[in-house]
Amino acid sequence: MSSKKKTSPKSKVIAAVMIVAALGGGLLWLRKDANGLRNALSYHYWIDRYTGVETYKPEVKYFTRGSRDHKDVCFTFDDGPHEAGAPLILDNLKKAGVHATFFVVGIRVKQHPELVKRMIDEGNEVGNHTQDHLRLDGLPIKNVQAEIENCATNIERACGRRPALLRPPGMRFKHETLALATKLGYTTVGWNVGAQDFVPAPSGHPTKEMEDEIHTTPDQVAERVIKGVKPGVIILLHDNPVTAQALPKIFDWLKKEGYTVKTVTQMLAELKPPVIIEPDPVFVPPAKKKMVKSLPSVGATTHKA
């Protein structure tokens, strides 16, 4: 006579539910850890992550996230400088004692060169976000080059510095764009956490109309950023007053949780092996390069890793 007890149908159902719940919970954790379900289910993603290619692709100088070994985050602000948003953002950065990386648009740099100069003077980094904010994947390569070089020219005229970082608008680009950027001396920079704050607001302080225009409020911007924070993430924000108003809440939370805010080049320097880039080196016009060849780059900004 067998002493084994038969498993009841109810017990089987409970066990099945527990297994499904465990698998679902594990998948949700992987999704969050991998920044999306597509990555979580992709063996290419996990291979890249294991080999370190997930963070930086040296052959095309493409930086996608910082080290997971450091409790750091990077703030990047796109599409400015706008007269309404940039001063408020800079005020909040200065008050918090942190620096960020601004990816600026050439036509707006031409309108507000003083804001780009202020970014540099206050220790921030300025990157190239093209001249007209066009999607580069739909342009002939000669037009892509013009978009990058014209923006760089406006930055040079505004602050006397040469940008070393590039972010294609909408992260829309082809492989040949990365090859061109590398040839021109740029490191291309992606992002991991966004707050859906894309549309610039038109005046100095966020009104109900502005919040309706970008379909968000400062609290929502802060909550979206905080929800996505993990060691090494690059945060995408935009140059508008609603976003500026969200910054104090984000900075307070990061401080409480023990995070440090770094610039793009500081996070690059923390990779293994480190990638050392001089942010915004002093621009020397071609005709004068021979004259100052033996002199150091006076006023060049450097960061310690």
Active site residues: 78, 238
Q: Which two tokens stand for residue 248?
A: 């104090």
CA distance 161 to 76: 18
Q: Is 43:32 a contact under the CB 8 Å cutoff?
A: no
DSSP lists the bridge partners of residue 165 as 187
CB neighbours (10 Å) of residue 197? 26
CA distance 305 to 302: 10
Q: Which two tokens stand for residue 177?
A: 């764009």
CA distance 274 to 9: 58
CA distance 168 to 148: 9
CA distance 90 to 86: 6
The DSSP 8-state label assigned to residue 190 in this structure reads -
Distance between first and last Cα of the chain: 73
CA distance 195 to 62: 22
Q: Is 167:103 a contact under the CB 8 Å cutoff?
A: yes
Angle ∠(105,147,149) on CA atoms, nearest 5: 95
